[in-house]
């Protein structure tokens, strides 16, 4: 019996598909194409692990069968636009123009809406009934890490981000009408997520610092806390204050003029270059540094690796990490700025870097600084913003000012007996 002749054609190599997770973008499917001799990247259009695995299995099956794997379909623009396509367009055309933190928050809220509603198309989520269902499910706590209902303030913020994305789609002409929804009412009892802390509480934070960061790094971290307490700067801004580095926030002293802070546009939330008065409290802190040492960054908190005797890997931490350490100091000092909410499962909130900024705003108000000057130092568009979030004031102090200003005549208080 004749032997079967073996084929000289080598077996086709099936490339291995893997899931990549780029920062702030949907998962990608990647594989090395043996024919084109290059890596192929295909966006999944989602950050859902299960959906990415499903697409991975589908792609592997196509490669095994030798089918076309590259996306070749025409993109539909309009209400029938596939939801992943809309996310990609919104990300590249709009979110890419915003600050990183703003874009990240918008992405996370759209991710949440996607997990809850699982929309197939843009129009599916833009439908008023779908939006109303989404709002109700958010309130009920669906997909909540704490497995508890969310507060109305939280849900309103989430819905605003989602509506902003859908309104952008309307401006692009992809939705025939702007999305509308009956927004939930939010209580006006409190606006701040936190509160200004007192001088006594601040001293407790200073005392707790060494226990969190170690004795060797303690003074550098106390310097950071004092900077936040005295400057009215946001943490991100304060970590970009230098003596002489270009494109940073710098204190400026000129002969015959009062000192100012020069703030470049890139350091501002409103992208506007601005000069503001240098607070005397903050100036006193800065002048503690001798002239010969006034070079480079002003605030350089030391690594916590020193506490456990490890080698320092990073010389200067970023603002995000500094904020986490400050929050740990606030917790170690036991400074509660917002109590836990059993209904929503929100834990107790301890003093953070932003509460120190609030404290500065309140101290300015209590010192009698005119509202418009406080507004300029805090860099708010209106006094109402400053009053709500940073300098709510003390009702007893306000009552005292009223009485002393109006010279309240005696005999008209509650102690006056009814003449009848």
Residues in the chain, how many?
420
Q: Do residues 221 and 302 touch, judged by C-beta distance below 8 A?
A: yes
What is the predicted pLDDT for the residue at 55?
Answer: 87
Token pair in block for residue 333: 């000092």
- Give the phi and the psi of residue 252 in degrees, each rounded to 5: -130, 125
- Rg of the Cα trace of the chain? 29
Asked whether 301 and 239 are in contact (CB, 8 A), the reply is no
Whether the Cβ atoms of residue 209 and residue 225 lie closer than 8 Å to each other: yes
Confidence (pLDDT) at 417 = 44
pLDDT value, residue 416:
44
Neighbours of 39 (CB within 10 A): 11
> Is the whole-model pTM more than 0.75?
no
Q: How far is CA 286 from CA 235, 245, 290, 361, 369, in A?
A: 16, 16, 9, 19, 22
Written as tens digits, the pLDDT of the chain (420 aa) is: 455 555 555 556 788 899 988 876 778 888 888 777 778 888 777 777 888 888 888 888 888 877 666 655 556 788 999 999 899 889 888 998 887 788 889 999 999 999 999 999 999 999 999 999 999 999 999 998 888 888 888 899 999 999 999 999 999 999 999 998 887 777 654 555 788 999 999 999 999 999 999 999 999 999 999 999 999 999 999 999 999 999 999 999 999 899 999 999 887 776 778 888 899 999 999 999 999 999 999 999 998 766 655 565 667 888 989 999 999 999 999 999 988 887 777 789 999 999 999 999 889 888 888 888 888 888 876 656 666 555 555 555 555 655 666 664 444 444 444 444
Burial status of residue 10 (CB atoms within 10 A of its CB: 0-12, 13-18, 19 or more): exposed
What is d(CA 323, CA 149) in angstroms, rounded to the nearest whole number?
27
330-358: b (≥16 Cβ within 10 Å) or e: bbbbebbbbeeeeebebeebbbbbbbbbb
* Residue 33 confidence (pLDDT): 82
Give the pLDDT confidence score for residue 332 in this predicted structure. 96
CB 218 within 8 A of CB 224: no
Q: What kind and span of H or E run contains 51?
A: helix 49-65
Quote the pLDDT of residue 372.
83
In this structure, are residues 374 and 385 in contact, taking their beta carbons and an 8 Å threshold?
Answer: no
Nearest alpha carbon to residue 279 among 230, 349, 313: 230
Burial class (CB in 10 A: 0-12, 13-18, 19+), 79: middle
* The pLDDT value given to residue 83: 93
pLDDT at site 414: 45
């Amino acid at each position: 019996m004749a032997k079967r002749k073996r084929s000289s054609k080598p077996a086709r190599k099936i490339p291995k598909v893997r899931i990549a997770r780029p920062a702030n973008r949907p998962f990608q499917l990647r594989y090395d194409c043996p024919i084109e001799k290059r890596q192929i990247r295909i966006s999944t259009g989602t950050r859902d692990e299960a959906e990415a695995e499903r697409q991975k299995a589908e792609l592997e099956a196509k490669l095994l069968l030798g089918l076309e794997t590259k996306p070749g379909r025409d993109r539909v623009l309009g209400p029938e636009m596939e939801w992943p396509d809309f996310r990609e367009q919104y990300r590249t055309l709009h979110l890419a123009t915003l600050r990183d933190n703003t874009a990240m928050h918008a992405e996370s809220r759209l991710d949440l809406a996607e997990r809850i509603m699982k929309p197939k198309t843009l129009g599916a989520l833009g439908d008023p009934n779908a939006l109303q269902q989404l709002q109700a499910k958010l309130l009920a706590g669906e997909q909540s890490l704490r497995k508890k209902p969310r507060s109305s303030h939280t849900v309103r913020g989430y819905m605003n981000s989602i509506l902003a994305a859908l309104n952008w789609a309307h401006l692009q002409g992809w939705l025939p009408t702007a999305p509308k929804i009956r927004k939930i009412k939010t209580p006006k009892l409190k606006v701040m997520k936190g509160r200004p802390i007192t001088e006594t509480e601040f001293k407790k934070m200073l005392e707790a610092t060494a226990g969190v960061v170690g004795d060797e790094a303690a003074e550098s971290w106390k310097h950071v806390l004092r900077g936040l307490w005295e400057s009215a700067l946001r943490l991100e801004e304060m970590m970009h204050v230098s003596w002489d580095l270009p494109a940073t926030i710098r204190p400026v002293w000129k002969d015959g003029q009062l000192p100012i802070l020069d703030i470049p546009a890139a350091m501002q939330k409103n992208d506007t270059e601005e000069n503001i008065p240098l607070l005397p409290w903050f100036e006193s802190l800065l002048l503690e540094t001798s002239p010969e040492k006034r070079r480079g960054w002003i605030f350089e908190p030391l690594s916590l690796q020193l506490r456990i005797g490890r080698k320092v890997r990073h010389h200067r931490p970023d603002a995000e990490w500094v904020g986490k350490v400050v929050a740990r100091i606030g917790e170690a000092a036991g400074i509660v700025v917002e109590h836990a909410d059993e209904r929503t499962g929100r834990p107790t909130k301890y003093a953070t870097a932003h509460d120190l900024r609030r404290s500065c705003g309140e101290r300015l108000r209590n010192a009698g600084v005119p509202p418009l000057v406080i507004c300029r130092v805090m860099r708010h568009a209106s006094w109402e913003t400053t009053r709500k979030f940073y300098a709510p004031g003390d009702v007893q102090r306000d009552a005292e000012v009223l009485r002393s200003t109006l010279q309240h005549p005696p005999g008209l208080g509650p102690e006056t007996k009814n003449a009848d």
